[in-house]
Amino acid sequence: MDVEKKKILIIVKTAPYIIRSGREVICTAGIDLDTGKWLRVYPIQFRKLPFNKRYDKFQFIEAKVKFDRSDIGQRPDSYKIDQDSIKLLSKLNTTKDWNKINKLFFPTASKSLEDLNKKKEKTGESLGAFKPKEVKSLKIKQVKKEDWKKRQKVNQMGLFFPNVAPLNLPPCEFIYDFICDDVKCKGHRMNFITWEIIETARKWIKIYGDQWQKKIHQKFLDYYFRQRDTWFIVGTHARSGNFMLIGYYSPYRSIIQEVLFKD
């Protein structure tokens, strides 16, 4: 498949990680405006991008991409991106543009993680979204010393790229326990690897000290899953093929009703 120029609405940015070449990269997912389907673009050295190419959540971008035939998981929705070709377009405002986002997002949503696994078996689709029936807990787990040493590699970016500041990632993982709205669901426990929670934790450790975990629970459990309707966004791991929680979508409830029940 040849190089294509695509317009994408960015919805997910994962936390940064180190690949075999030693580069710090992120994975990005969004909705392809041509097909209305999810699309994964990677690897992106986001913190090395010039500021005029650093996209935000809910921003449209245009870029040259190519289907990734080398993808270990042979995922049909994975594309390699030409970073130099990234062009920032308009950004949707979450105070007034929810309807525009919803019209793109809701057609991609599935009933449950079980449904997404069925789709993956049939079509190979490795990205999707669903609304959990109940989120029981959000656990903050300390990372083992050996795993933390590997993660600390990210903090060495500044040694090789003086213009890139160390990230100082928090030494922990964030794990949701939830059940789907599906009779076949027996419950799930999954890591949450989105950029937002990692960056929030990194900042709040400094601001709130010993209270930072309480603040994380207030926002990412009580607020998003008690006060608002929130969808999980998932993507598969290239090697294992297992789904991971890579993002979330949380519009206002009144806006959801307006879109879903509009004539």
Q: Measuring CA to CA, which residue among 225, 260, 221 is closest to residue 133?
A: 225
Give the Cβ contact number of residue 77 at 10 Å.
23
- Tens digit of each residue's pLDDT, the chain (263 residues): 689 999 999 999 988 877 766 678 888 999 999 999 999 998 898 888 999 999 999 999 999 999 988 887 789 999 999 999 999 999 999 888 999 999 999 999 999 999 999 999 999 999 999 999 999 999 999 887 565 555 555 544 443 444 556 667 788 899 999 999 999 999 999 999 999 999 999 999 999 999 999 999 999 999 999 989 999 999 998 888 899 999 999 987 654 444 444 43
Check residue 42 and give its pLDDT. 86
What tokens does 94 get?
């979450």
Which single residue is written with the structure tokens 């650093």?
Answer: 54
Answer positive or negative: Cα dihedral of 117, 119, 124, 130.
negative
- 13 Cβ contact partners less than 8 Å away, ≥ 6 residues apart: 26, 27, 28, 46, 57, 194, 195, 247
Check residue 164 and give its pLDDT. 59
- 159 Cβ contact partners less than 8 Å away, ≥ 6 residues apart: none
- 160 Cβ contact partners less than 8 Å away, ≥ 6 residues apart: 22
Instruction: Give the global pTM.
Output: 0.88
Cite the residue boundaries of each domain of the chain with CATH code 2.40.50.730. Answer: 4-98
Identify whether the C-beta of residue 61 lies closer than 8 Å to the C-beta of residue 39.
no
Chain center to CA of 210: 27
Helix (H) or strand (E) holding 102: helix 98-105
At 99, is the secondary structure helix, strand, or coil?
A: helix
What tokens does 66 get?
């190519």
What tokens does 210 get?
């010993």
Give the separation between CA 122 and CA 127, rounded to whole angstroms. Answer: 13
Which single residue is written with the structure tokens 């297992």?
Answer: 242
Q: Measuring CA to CA, which residue among 103, 99, 105, 100 is closest to residue 90?
A: 100
Whether CATH 2.40.50.730 fits 4-98: yes
Give the separation between CA 219 and CA 232, rounded to whole angstroms. Answer: 15
Whether CATH 1.10.10 fits 111-260: no
Q: Where are the beta strands (DSSP E) in 68-171?
A: 78-81, 87-91, 109-110, 127-130, 134-142
